[in-house]
Amino acid sequence: MAATETKAAGGGSSGLSWARVCKECGQQHDCQDSHLYEYQDDVDDELVCHICLQPLLRPMDTPCGHTYCFHCLSNFLKEQDFCPVDRQRLQLQQCRPSSLLVRNLLDKLSVACPHYAECQMQMQRCELQPHLHNRCPVFQRLREEAEKRKRPSWNELKGRKGDVDISGDAKQTSLPRTSSRDPDPGLVNPAYEECEEDNTPLRSSLVAEANVVDLLREESDEDLGLRIVGGKDTPLGNIVIQETVRDSVAARDGRLAPGDHILEVNDISLASVPHARAIALLRQPTLLRLTVMQEKGFKTRDPRSELHANHPSTSSASQSQPAHPSPGTVLQVTLMKNHHSEPLGIKLIRKSDESGVFILDLLSGGLAAKDGKLGNNDKVLAINGQDLRHGTPESAAQIIQASEVRVNFVVMRAAEDHDEGGSREGHSARAARRAPDPQYFRRRSTYMKDPPGGFSSQDKTVSMKKEPRLSLGITIAGGRDCRSRLPVYITSVQPVGCLHREGTIKRGDVLLSINGADLTQLTYNEAVSVLKAQTAQSQVVLRVIQTLSEDFEEEPDTSCNDKMDLSDDPREDTLNWTPLWTRWLGLPSHMHWCRDIVLHKTNNESWGFSIVGGYEESHGQQPFYIKTIVPGTPAHFDGRLKCGDEIVAVNGATTVGMNNSSLIPMLKLQKNKVTLTVVSWPGSLV
């Protein structure tokens, strides 16, 4: 047995700095150093790292049979190329995470809170972070003091209301951004809307923080589960997370969210990197240390609003409803437990067709059922201020269990249809008459525009004679029934087919027609049937579109769903490929599928998104794209608008030909409701 040495002394908050305190272990250490824990028992030598001589953190096994902390080993191998114990040749890519058994044993090690002198708590190591963020009084006090120092006084803010501050994308630990700043070139920020009346809360301070997030793939070919948009060669400029994939490495880690801007990957700046290069960096089969800028939402100017936040009665459902609750009403509900361990009586689930956490049922006689404000099928957006829009039932349950007495829910309730008396028979009749999925439509002629600068497309036609039984040798994906209404495109051209020998058709080409049969309006299965029927002919004429970009790089393989091998070769392993997000930017407008997204807000709320693009003399016409979605705003809670979406119309008025100074007033004039017509392409998967 080995007695572990305490690396940092706890006890009290004297001399502590919120900026220096680690948000995971609660100790003060540099972000590049390992976490520090105060272990309460002797730890078995087998669970101790041979480099730092402390209990293992994120243990990694080497091929030669030794185990180290991931952080210790990765730092060591930056300077050396051998195992620290037996000096055998070693690279980090050869190492694998330790077994689940070892990791569970480490998670169960007993540690004390770094502020034990005041909170008097001991727990398992895996429980320390939830304790710090939900129960530790010292940690919460440090956070509140930092927020107060960061927030200017009401009088100070009123005095500088007309000031203009021009700033770039500076990397800071805490970065308040105000709407009065001049934005980046081409950037407008309708997320902020200032009111002149002194009795209306002013939401001018948009707070963002730069954080470091380490992600490790357990298998070298495993996806992180992030969809990425943006890049130097695109109108967005920055590399932005469009969404996180459920049950992925990133989703399980829980620290990254849609809208986060990735500034660095393993100390390599992405400020001037094209999209394809950024994706290649993010697909490295090693530890990824990401420096990200994360929007934290608005800080209210009016201190009177803080008084309301301190009184549970002001958080009732009736006061938190938006003026127009379609497509759903956002409710704030506070449940008060009689004691720490009292259950709420809520069953939480996840759905197969939508990310997030949903309420399945309220147990009869339980606290939530007695309160009566939560309901079945409510989507849980946040609990105690922690975003669960892309969370899991397990993480939600952990937050609830860590709560002392008060549990604050923010949920979205789907809008109810009250016509025909709301009867079940009437609902069934309405469902039978409802048109199938009417939300998508082809881009109208008034919405047509050229692709953004640097992107284009070209038509290609291939005519060939072939034996009727000879396969074309292609695999396809997409179709009108797939996500984002992607066109049917080629995922591979196999060496055994006649198209490979012809050489014109490439992976990523979008199919237009075969022998005159249109493929652009078909579902995936319909396209497969037409292709197979026409392939049986001795003469085949195939029309495709190839998208081009100035900074084009061939994408490495990734994953793709809903593909069919038209050569009927089950051994084909080239199906795991999807186009990069940038491939869709060059697609002609007439092939775009649009949809309308209706947002609602109250008079003093912001819409919650920023955009780039518009007409500029130096660059000509650029489409408008969503760049940022701010947490806690209507756009965030609605969940349908995504970073990288192109805005083609506002309330039916086309944005083609508009500049920033035209679109800003249009958005600000919409006080309670706005309809955005958007085109959305799935981000590149890493």
Weakly modelled stretches of the chain, pLDDT under 70: 1-15, 31-32, 147-207, 296-328, 352-353, 415-438, 550-576, 603-604, 615-621
Question: Using an 8 Å Cβ cutoff, are 621 and 664 in contact?
Answer: no
- What is the C-alpha to C-alpha distance for residues 113 and 38, in angstroms, rounded to an integer? 7
The Cα angle at residue 576 between residues 575 and 578, in degrees rounded to 5: 105
Q: Which residues pair with 564 in a beta bridge?
A: 476
Q: Return phi, psi of residue 59, to 5°.
A: -65, 140
| Amino acid residing at 675 | T
Question: Using an 8 Å Cβ cutoff, are 206 and 298 in contact?
Answer: yes
Largest interatomic CA distance in the chain: 84
Helices (H) and strands (E) in the chain, counts: 18, 35
307-342 pLDDT, tens digit each: 344 433 333 333 333 333 345 678 888 898 888 778
The Cα angle at residue 314 between residues 308 and 317, in degrees rounded to 5: 140
- DSSP tag of 127: G
Q: Which two tokens stand for residue 219?
A: 């298998």
Residue 513, H or E segment: strand 510-514
- What is the C-alpha to C-alpha distance for residues 294 and 113, in angstroms, rounded to an integer? 27
Pairing mode of beta strands 239-244, 226-230: antiparallel
Collect all residues with Cβ–Cβ distance below 8 Å to 165 and sequence separation of at least 6: 178, 180, 181, 182
Q: What's the predicted TM-score (pTM) here? A: 0.59
349-392 pLDDT, tens digit each: 887 667 788 998 888 888 898 888 998 889 998 898 888 887 78
* Cα–Cα nearest to 208, from 130, 261, 145: 261
Question: Using an 8 Å Cβ cutoff, are 399 and 134 in contact?
Answer: yes
Q: Return phi, psi of residue 641, to 5°.
A: -75, 135
* Cα–Cα nearest to 667, from 596, 599, 617, 593: 599
Burial 231-242 (b: 16+ CB within 10 A, else e): bbbbbbbbbbbb
Q: Within 13 Å, how many C-alpha atoms sit on residue 464's CB side? A: 23
- What is the C-alpha to C-alpha distance for residues 365 and 218, in angstroms, rounded to an integer? 43
Report the pLDDT value the prediction gives residue 152, as an integer from 0 to 100. Answer: 45
Cα 18 → chain centroid: 26
Pairing mode of beta strands 205-215, 226-230: unpaired
Cα torsion angle, 664, 670, 672, 677, sign = negative
- The burial class, CB within 10 Å (0-12 / 13-18 / 19+), for 15 is exposed
Residue whose tokens read 């948000």: 23
Cα 433 → chain centroid: 36
- What is the C-alpha to C-alpha distance for residues 470 and 472, in angstroms, rounded to an integer? 7
Residue 215, H or E segment: strand 205-215
- What is the C-alpha to C-alpha distance for residues 54 and 606, in angstroms, rounded to an integer? 49
Q: Which two tokens stand for residue 199?
A: 């009795």
Report the pLDDT value the prediction gives residue 67, as an integer from 0 to 100. Answer: 93
Cα torsion angle, 150, 156, 158, 163, sign = negative
- DSSP tag of 655: -
- DSSP tag of 194: -
- What is the C-alpha to C-alpha distance for residues 66 and 60, in angstroms, rounded to an integer? 8
Q: End-to-end distance of the chain based on CA atoms, in angstroms? A: 42
